[in-house]
Amino acid sequence: MTSSNDTSAPLVSIVGAGPGAADLLTVRALRRLGQADVVLYDNLVSAEVMALCAPDATLIYSGKKYGDHVDPRQRQQEINEAMVAYARQGKRVVRLKSGDPFIFGRAAEEIRYLTAQQVPYEVVPGLTAGLAAASLVHIPVTERNHSNAVLLCTAHTANYDFEQLDALANMLRTGTTLVMYMGLSNMPQVVAKLQAAVGPDAVYVSAISHVSGSQQRLVTALLPDIEAALAQAALPMPVVFIIGKYACSLDEAAAHLHSLS
């Protein structure tokens, strides 16, 4: 693999664009965007980040939108082939993914393809939206004497079998925090199954829309009430969810305590 400091050889850089705000990019990601001849970018990469690409770079949309009905295998194959084709032309290629490439970003599939084609590559980490959201709205996903673990998952939680749901419920009851991606459309099923699993225990759900952007919004409710709260708020996608006994903003908790005093 080519060193991350080598700017001379043809190289594919799989770059994490972070949650959206340009000033949350890593320094290396910013450097790679400025060096790139070709940028293949995903749907959720913000316009603010795209504006940092080199002025003469070729920008190729390679994203997926909810409900677009495009065959994901065909789309992925086209992305893989494009990365290799441009790299073999001697061009510096950035495969730009929202968040972090290795967190629900399909980077592993692309790396296997690049490896099979013997094309040098690197991975530039990015700040994943779920953890960025927690920090930005002041929800500690781990805290001494409260939550000692965090689990990143998707809304496929709704399809877990009983054994898996029981394990998740036990984790929630003991303080583990769930950070859930791609859950807005499946939230009714997720809520129903988690509620059945956790029983009467108080579990908070915080939904954060447009993480780090000017349109960022936060909605928090207890598990049985989150669907009504979401319907009232009409949050736009993308939304990430933080679920747990302590998945409530420190600001809201402080306001609640103040109201009781």
Picking from 201, 196, 156, 164, the residue whose alpha carbon sits closest to that of residue 180 is 156
Picking from 141, 146, 147, 105, the residue whose alpha carbon sits closest to that of residue 249 is 141
Residues near 171 by beta carbon (within 8 Å), at least 6 away in sequence: 149, 151, 178
Q: What is the pLDDT of residue 110?
A: 97
Residue 6 known to be catalytic = no
Question: What is the rounded end-to-end Cα distance, in angstroms, of the chain?
Answer: 60
Q: What is the pLDDT of residue 244?
A: 95
**Successive 10-residue mean pLDDT values, the chain, 261 residues:** 48 96 97 96 96 97 75 91 96 97 94 97 97 97 91 80 77 90 87 86 95 96 96 94 95 58 44
Distances (CA, A) of 233 to 84, 135, 138, 221, 252: 44, 21, 20, 12, 17
Catalytic residue among 6, 42, 68, 97: 42
Q: What is the pLDDT of residue 175?
A: 86
173-209 b/e (C-beta count within 10 Å ≥ 16 → b): eebbbbbbbbbbebbeebbebbbebbeeeebbbbbbb
The single-letter code of the amino acid at 93 is V
Q: What is the pLDDT of residue 70?
A: 74
pTM: 0.88
Q: What is the pLDDT of residue 174?
A: 84
Question: For residues 116 and 110, what is the distance between their CA atoms, to the nearest angstrom?
Answer: 10
By CB neighbour count within 10 A (0-12 exposed, 13-18 middle, 19+ buried), where does 128 fall?
Answer: buried
Residue 65 known to be catalytic = no
Question: For residues 239 and 134, what is the distance between their CA atoms, to the nearest angstrom?
Answer: 12
Q: Say which residue the tokens 């990430």 belong to.
A: 240
Catalytic residue among 6, 23, 37, 64: 64
Q: What is the pLDDT of residue 187?
A: 87
Q: What is the pLDDT of residue 252?
A: 78
Question: For residues 175 and 172, what is the distance between their CA atoms, to the nearest angstrom?
Answer: 5
